Structure 1
Amino acid sequence: MSGALLVLLGVTLLCGILSGAPVSFVLIGVPTVVAFLGAVLGVFDLGFLAAFPSRAFGILTNDVFLSVPLFVLMGGLLERSSIAKRMMLTAGALFGNREGGMAYAVVIVGALLAASTGVIGATIFMLGMIAMPAMLEAGYSKSLASGVICAAGSLGQIIPPSILLILLTDQISAAYQAGRRSAGEWAVEPVSVGDLFAGAFIPGLLLVVLYILYILFTSIRTPASCPPVVTRDAAGNRTRPDLREVTYSLLMPLLLIVIVLGSILGGVATATESAALGAAGALVMTAMNRDGVPLWRMLLLMAVLPAAFALVAVKLSGGAQASPLAGGIGLVALVVMCLGTLSALLQELRRGGMWDAAVDTASMVAMLTLIVLGATMLSLVFRGLHGEQMVESFLHGLPGGEMTAVLVVMAIIFVLGFVIEYVEIIFIVVPIAGPPLMAAGVDPVWFGECHELCVSGLVHAGFRYGHALKRSSNIMAK
């Protein structure tokens, strides 16, 4: 009877998600109904549902999730300002005078935005609005232009600081600890955000390199599909960005990325601290990008990034306790950072950019929180119906050992990616399949990166090869 209810649970969940109903309500409502049905049939103990409030409270107070709204706010500020647009135009001017040059610029800017924001929707929209008209006007193939934009815009799923990685960290850590405890190991170290960030960094860069090699191969094989894009001024003269424009448009976002990711990967700061640093840096960059900023405020804002580097250097050298000089430098840097961030905040609140970004952040975080709570309810009901034992028996019964089990789970994730979003996949698949795999000795970071690459690979493969459809190309062209 439990097996029949599990099948009913899976089918009803899939139908509810495909119906277009809010996923969070489906994840909460369907397991609750199945749980009460199981209680009536005598195969489910309602005591499992009593653990929901404590689990929900633990999720909402988790330090990992505190970094999510800060990273989302950081991305929202950069997307709402013209910084992303300036990055695209500058990179396009640098690379556009050669075959495939604008496509190279799209990939590079997509990687920079991915490392700056961690979200993909607005990135794809921005690249499409700016790069697509220029590429089509120059004679680019519709399929190549739309595919490159969608693939580059989707890099935010794998390149840190990815929201997917942050959400995945908590689930991987919980699955790893549960799996190792079931294997008899009780002193288990949790998996940190920095571990997954470090594990995703090289695959993310490798994906960027592969995209660039693909464009290079296309430009050699069919140069007519990606001709040069030469930018000209009003008088018709060819233009090239000067050093100041390159520094302001590309170097400053790159410095922000180095501060945020470097502090996490170097163990200087936690994910939440780095997210706060990144949000403050994005706020300052947005404020600097406004017209009519007074000179005194511009100088103060320009001093924030060097001050952030100074703080990171002081902490690397041992903190304020290392020497009075380090303590003095750290104090001055902190004061400069606070004053510059406060000045930028007041300016953006008056201009409206900060408020709009905060509203969008609150909306996205509320949606993610409800999905997480729904997935928690699903996990409890699944466990109450003895689903974990069934999954464990199935995975252990596969020929070929743990490697075959991992491949089967990745194939399931790949198929699920066609019908549901990556957030739901994380909170549905990892709590179910993760513990038995971790108990068998699968490395949690490796499993997490395979999970992410499988979801991201689906997005990239779908956009890369699906863009050949004429209808999709025409939609993107419009």
Structure 2
Amino acid sequence: MDLGLTLTVIMILSLIGLLMTGFPVAFTLGGVSLLFGLFGIATGALDSGFIEILPNRVFSNVIQNELLFAVPLFISMGVILEKSKIAEDLLESMGRLFGSIRGGLGISVTIVGALLAASTGIVGATVVTMGLMSLPTMLKRGYDTRLATGSIAAAGTLGQIIPPSIVLILLADVMSNAWQQAQTNMGIFSPSPLSAGQLFAGALLPGLLLVGLYIAYQVFIAISKPTYSPALEETFDFSKKEILTLLGALFPPLLLIIAVLGSILNGIATPTEAAAVGAVGAMLLSAFRVRGKAFWATYKSIIHESMLSTIRVSSMIYTILIGAALFSLVFRGFGGDEAIEHFLSTLPGGYWTAILLVMLVMFVLGFFLDFIEITFVVVPIVAPALLAMDGSLGPIWLGILIAMNLQTSFLTPPFGFALFYLRGVAPDEVATSDIYKGALPFVAIQIIALLTLAVWPTLATWLPSVIF
């Protein structure tokens, strides 16, 4: 092994080790890359040109990247909807609608989780919101603790796969670069980029498949173990007041989803333009939700807190992007991309063995690293090699497979991030072991959906081919 590849291996191991210690991701990425880059230049293992082009790379790929403008807009939309209690109204109304049947509250949690996923796209916010609102109610109504916690954690992770998702936006940018690099490696000199709209369309059917499987499991439990998910005593009486309350809670989020996602899929607006519509729409919905005598003070507080949260999260993401750009340059300068492609292409079993290995590695890393680190560190390393090995299935299918795989990882005990979020807001009487055991059936459902997507790639590729 030459010096460049040796430094590549040490750099990756150092990066993962520091990330697992909890050191800030953005500074870890940039600092490790810079140190190894300077050492590589000093030893002759790296051409200094790879470091010198960093400002141009950051300016063209980050600062001027219109797609990434959508990130703070979608984040603000999600945070505003969370803080204005719109989700609370939605869950209460849906719970009354379905609560009169066995398993109805669990079904409503799944549906509301899907709607929140399509409205916010932020996993942590959805899990925490659902945990605070629905878990005490489910336990009070006699729901099995494991079923209740598993339903909430699983519904919360739908924000990974149901568009518009922050994960999908970031993946679209990374996968587009990987696809262009792979096409160039294959001798195709007019590479076509991957758009976020295409990835959104590709994720729609797999996301709905997951929602359907979750609901089917709720129905199965309600039939086979009636005491686990009893019906509520209160029933939806279909009076005018009840119907208006339900429509008032359901219609605004649905309208926002249709405005945002529909405009993207129909080609009316770019993801960035749709995100701006979503952010403004969330502000208007929040104003409608607040009302009352203290309207201005309450509304001002919601917007102020939402903007501060948006700035914090967006700044973190953009700083990681800059560090990831430096890491990518140093990695390629050491010849790491060629080494990865050679390693994966020489595995016994070829392309599918490489896919399986990459997915297993990402699954394990998902226990310790957030989706942002995996998206910006791991995906740029392996995606070009996988696409160059077999580009017939394309970047959309691979991107959705990665997103769903990470979603499964974030739900899997004992290290799943969704389980940590839920543990933080669950009542003290709920044992951690119950949260873990409750998540296992939904992990099995995730794996079934993942295998279905692997066997039938058209689940991800059909809708984009029809729309775009």
Match of 1:17 in 2: 19
* Residue 85 of structure 1 pairs with residue 36 of structure 2: no
Please tell me whether residue 217 in structure 1 is matched to residue 220 in structure 2: yes
> Any idea what the Cα deviations from partners look like across 1:283-315, whole Å, max 9, x if unmatched?
111111122389xxxxxxxxxxxxxxxxxxxxx
TM-score when scaled to structure 2? 0.85
Displacement of 1:4 in angstroms is: 2.2
Q: State the Cα distance separating 1:461 from its structure 2 match.
A: 4.0
Who is 1:269 aligned against? 269
Contact 1:175–1:431 (8 Å) recurs in 2:
yes
**Are residues 209 and 240 of structure 1, via their aligned partners in 2, closer, same or farther at CA, if it must alter by over 3 Å?**
farther
* Cα distance in 1, alignment partners of residues 356 and 263 from structure 2: 34
2:397 aligned partner: 446
2:432 counterpart residue number = 471
- Report the CA distance shift for 1:127/1:230 in structure 2 as closer, same or farther (over 3 A): farther
The aligned counterpart of 2:465 is none
> For 1:95 and 1:33, how far apart are their aligned partners in 2?
58
Q: CA deviation at 1:166?
A: 0.4
Residue aligning to 2:409: 458
Q: What is the one-letter code of the residue matched to 1:252?
A: P
- Kept in 2, the 8 Å contact 1:231–1:238? The answer is no
Q: Does 1:437 align with 2:386?
A: yes
Q: 8 Å contact 1:94–1:241 — kept in the other structure?
A: no
Is the contact made by 1:132 and 1:146 (CA closer than 8 Å) also made in structure 2? Answer: yes
Name which of structure 1's ranges 361-370 and 434-443 shifts more when overlaid on structure 2: 434-443
Which of 25, 40, 43 aligns to 1:41? It is: 43
Is the alpha carbon distance of 1:412 and 1:2 closer, same or farther for their aligned partners in structure 2, counting shifts above 3 Å? same
Secondary structure of 1:289's counterpart equals helix
Q: Is the contact between residue 172 and residue 191 of structure 1 (CA under 8 Å) also seen in structure 2?
A: yes
CA contact (8 A) 1:349 1:355 kept: no
- The whole-number CA distance in structure 2 between the counterparts of 1:381 and 1:349 is 49
The residue number in structure 2 matching 1:206 is 209
Aligned with 1:359 (options 289, 308, 317):
308
> In structure 2, what is the Cα distance between the partners aligned to 1:230 and 1:30?
59
* Contact preservation (8 Å) 1:160, 1:200: yes
Decide which of 103, 106, 110 is 2:113's aligned counterpart.
110
2-structure distance, mates of 1:216, 1:202: 21
Q: Using the alignment, how far apart are the partners of 2:435 and 2:79 within structure 1? A: 28
Relative to structure 1, the CA distance from residue 136 to residue 63 in structure 2 (aligned partners, 3 Å threshold; closer, same or farther) is same
Contact 1:231 1:239 in 2 (8 A): no
Structure 1 residue aligned with 2:338: 389
Deviation per residue, 1:207-237 (Å, 9 max, x gap)? 001111111111222221212233489xxx9
Distance 1:474 1:465, change over 3 A: closer
Deviation at 1:437, TM superposition (A): 2.1
What is the deviation of 1:240? 10
Match of 1:66 among 65, 69, 72: 69
Q: What SS does structure 2 have at the residue aligned with 1:203?
A: helix
* 1:411 match: 360
Supply the AA of the counterpart residue of 2:411.
H
Q: Distance in 2 between matches of 1:428 and 1:416?
A: 11
Residue 348 of structure 2 corresponds to 399
State the partner residue of 1:168.
Answer: 171
Specify the structure having the higher radius of gyration (Cα). 1
Q: C-alpha displacement at 1:143, in angstroms?
A: 1.4
- Which SS does the other structure have where 1:278 is aligned? helix
Would you say 1:428 and 2:377 are equivalent positions?
yes
- Shift in Å at residue 81 of structure 1? 0.5
426-435 or 20-29, which moves further after superposition?
426-435
- One-letter amino acid of the counterpart of residue 402, structure 2: H
Superposition pairs for residues 264-413 of structure 1, below 5 Å? 264-292=264-292, 351-413=300-362
Q: d(CA) in 1 for partners of 2:241 and 2:156?
A: 24
Alignment of 1:123 with 2:131, yes or no, is no
1:471 is displaced (CA, Å) by 2.5
Aligned equivalent of 2:449: none
Kindly indicate whether the alpha-carbon contact (under 8 Å) linking 1:134 and 1:229 is maintained by their aligned counterparts in 2: no
The 1:374/1:348 distance shift into structure 2, 3 A limit, reads: farther
Q: Shift in Å at residue 167 of structure 1?
A: 0.4
Answer yes or no: is 1:252 the counterpart of 2:203.
Answer: no
Deviations 1:399-433 (A, max 9, x none): 33323222222222112111111111111122111
Deviations 1:23-59 (A, max 9, x none): 1111111121122222333312232111211111121
How far, CA to CA, are the matches of 1:476 and 1:403 in structure 2? Answer: 31
Tell me, yes or no, if the aligned pair for 1:93 and 1:231 is still in contact at 8 Å.
yes
Q: Does 1:184 align with 2:187?
A: yes
2-structure distance, mates of 1:157, 1:29? 29
Q: 2:142 aligns with which of 132, 139, 143?
A: 139
Instruction: State yes or no: 1:95 paired with 2:98.
Output: yes
SS at match of 1:242: helix
8 Å CA contact retained: 2:99, 2:235: no
Mark the CA change 1:348 to 1:401 in structure 2 (over 3 Å): closer, same or farther: farther
Q: Secondary structure at the match of 1:352?
A: helix
Gap change, CA 1:350 and 1:105, over 3 Å in 2? closer
Helix, strand or coil at the partner of 1:78: helix
Q: Does the 8 Å contact 2:143/2:228 carry over to 1?
A: yes
Which sections of structure 2, spanning at least 5 residues, go unmatched? Answer: 424-429, 439-468
When structure 1 is superposed on structure 2, of 63-72 and 217-226 the one drifting more is 217-226
Q: Normalised by the size of structure 1, how large is the TM-score?
A: 0.83
Q: CA deviation at 1:22?
A: 0.6
CA contact (8 A) 1:13 1:30 kept: yes
Aligned pair count reads 423
Gaps of 5+ in 1: 295-343
Alpha-carbon distance in 1 for matches of 2:23, 2:240: 50
